[in-house]
């Protein structure tokens, strides 16, 4: 197949895609004109970089979920069951999600549209901010996408770079939307307080537009160069504290504090949530490892107080891996952890 034939096939694929999507009218007209121009360029003797750039741009335009939404699950019982299965406690967060479902259900019954809220989960490391964001998406039956903001040093990483530049590409928001395939996902803006100092003001400016319900219905990515409606996206931001976050951004978020866990709560989380996950991850069955009740306080606090459950999770996984090794070696296939032997199984710190 000649290169010219290959180019015409690429254009035909784009034309078929264009017929299968519902673009905004103005953008549809623009896309058709670009495809016609591509066909003229493809038929010429020269093969330019502009052709590749335009082809890539059109591929992004026709692949975005301009009018495609997932069906949201507006069931308080389903949400409660999902969040309880994933997280112990965190009553304030769970209650707020169920309130949103209640309001959305009433609005839907009246045929009214509700704009998705935007949450800011604030808490120390290991208090469950990121996993709670994923749990909220599960509870609502929405697709989930994550954008790590920690260390981000250029607003164009969110906003995109114009197609007229050789190294042009869409921003992270558009990339997430294409990946999830719907226009109403949950998007996690992770580590909002860890944006680099030199770019903080510019990135915070983009975030204001993202999170403001009066502006985000016409969010402009410089690469796509056409407004995209983000009003149905449920944004969840996370931060260890709010000291490094612009007030204008905080004003557009509903702040929810993630509490530190007491030892008694960690024991419940360890026994009922983390232990079963660690056993499964290590390939162990229920009969391979038993942890006596009086051992849990020693597992919960091997080094001292820790506000979250990250260290606890690592400790339990470390215990399970040691038991898995013993089982494979055949030296101690059935392990019972007691106060006398627990130190043999705790990770080396």
Of the chain, the percentage scoring pLDDT greater than 70 comes to 93
Topology classification of domain 76-257: Rossmann fold (3.40.50)
Question: For residues 290 and 72, what is the distance between their CA atoms, to the nearest angstrom?
Answer: 40
Q: Determine contact, residues 247/204, Cβ cutoff 8 Å.
A: no
Question: For residues 192 and 194, what is the distance between their CA atoms, to the nearest angstrom?
Answer: 6
Other residues' Cβ atoms within 10 Å of the Cβ of residue 208: 16
Residues 243, 246, 250, 251, CA torsion sign? positive
More confident residue, 186 or 48: 186
More confident residue, 247 or 16: 247
Domains 76-257 and 263-345 equal at CATH topology level: no
Secondary structure in 3-state letters for the chain: CCHHHHHHHHHHHHHHHHHHCCCCHHHHHHHHHHHHHHHHHHHCCCCCHHHHHHHHHHHHHHHCCCCCCCCCCCCHHHHHHHHHHHCCCCHHHHHHHHHHHHHHHHHHHCCCCCCCCEEEEECCCCCCHHHHHHHHHHHHCCCEEEEECCCCCCCHHHHCECCCCCCCECCHHHHHHHHHCCCCCEEEEECHHHCCHHHHHHHHHHHHHHHCCCCHHHEECCCCCCEECCCCCEEEEEECCCCCCCHHHHCCCEEEECCCCCHHHHHHHHHHHHHHHHHHHCCCCCCCEEECHHHHHHHHCCCCCCCCCHHHHHHHHHHHHHHHHHHHHCCCCCEEECCCCHHHHCCCC
Residue holding tokens 């107080």?
305
pLDDT at 330: 84
Which stretch of 3-17, 120-134, 317-331 has the lowest confidence by average pLDDT?
3-17
- pLDDT of residue 74 exceeding 60: yes
Dig out the tokens for 46 from the structure.
Answer: 């020269």
pLDDT at 124: 86
- For the stretch 211-236, pLDDT in tens is 998 899 999 999 999 999 999 999 99
Buried b (16+ CB within 10 A) or exposed e, 119-132: bbbbbbebbbbbeb
In Å, the largest CA–CA distance within the chain is 81
pLDDT at 302: 65
For the chain, state the CA radius of gyration. 25
- pLDDT of residue 12 exceeding 90: no
Q: 96, 100, 98, 13: which is closest to 62 by C-alpha?
A: 13
pLDDT at 39: 79
Q: Determine contact, residues 122/93, Cβ cutoff 8 Å.
A: no
pLDDT at 145: 97
Domain ranges of the chain: 3-63, 76-257, 263-345
Top-level CATH class of 263-345?
A: mainly alpha
pLDDT at 308: 75
* Total-model pTM: 0.85
Mean pLDDT of 174-196: 96
């Amino acid at each position: 197949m000649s290169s010219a034939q290959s180019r015409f096939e690429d254009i035909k694929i784009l034309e078929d895609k264009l017929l299968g999507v519902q673009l905004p009218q103005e953008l549809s007209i623009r896309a058709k004109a670009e495809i016609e121009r591509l066909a003229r360029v493809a038929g010429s003797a020269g093969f330019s970089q502009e052709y590749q750039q335009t082809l890539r741009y059109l591929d992004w335009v026709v692949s975005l979920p301009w009018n495609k939404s997932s069906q949201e699950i507006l069931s308080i019982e389903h949400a409660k069951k999902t969040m309880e299965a994933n997280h112990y406690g965190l009553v304030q967060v769970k209650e707020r999600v169920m309130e949103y479902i209640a309001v959305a259900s009433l609005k839907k019954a009246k045929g009214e549209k509700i704009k998705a809220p935007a949450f800011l989960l604030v808490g120390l490391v290991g208090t469950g901010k990121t996993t709670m964001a994923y749990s909220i998406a599960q509870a609502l039956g929405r697709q989930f996408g994550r954008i790590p903001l920690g260390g981000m040093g250029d607003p164009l990483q969110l906003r995109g770079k114009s197609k007229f530049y050789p190294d042009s590409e869409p921003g992270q928001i558009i990339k997430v939307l294409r990946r999830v395939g719907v226009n109403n996902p949950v998007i996690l803006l992770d580590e909002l307080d860890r944006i680099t100092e030199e770019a903080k003001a510019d990135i915070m400016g983009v975030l204001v537009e993202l999170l403001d319900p009066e502006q985000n219905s016409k969010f402009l990515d410089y690469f796509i160069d056409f407004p995209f409606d983000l009003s149905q996206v449920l944004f969840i931001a996370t931060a260890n504290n709010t000291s490094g976050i612009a007030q204008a951004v905080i004003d557009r978020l509903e702040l929810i504090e993630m509490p530190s866990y007491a030892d008694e709560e960690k024991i419940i989380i360890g026994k009922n949530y983390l232990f079963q996950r660690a056993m499964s991850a290590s390939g162990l069955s229920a009969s391979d490892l038993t942890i006596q009740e009086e051992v849990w306080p020693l597992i919960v606090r091997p080094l001292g107080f820790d506000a979250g459950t990250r260290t606890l999770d690592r400790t339990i996984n470390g215990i399970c891996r040691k038991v898995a090794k013993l089982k494979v070696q055949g030296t101690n296939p059935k392990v019972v952890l007691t106060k006398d032997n627990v130190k043999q199984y705790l990770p080396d710190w």
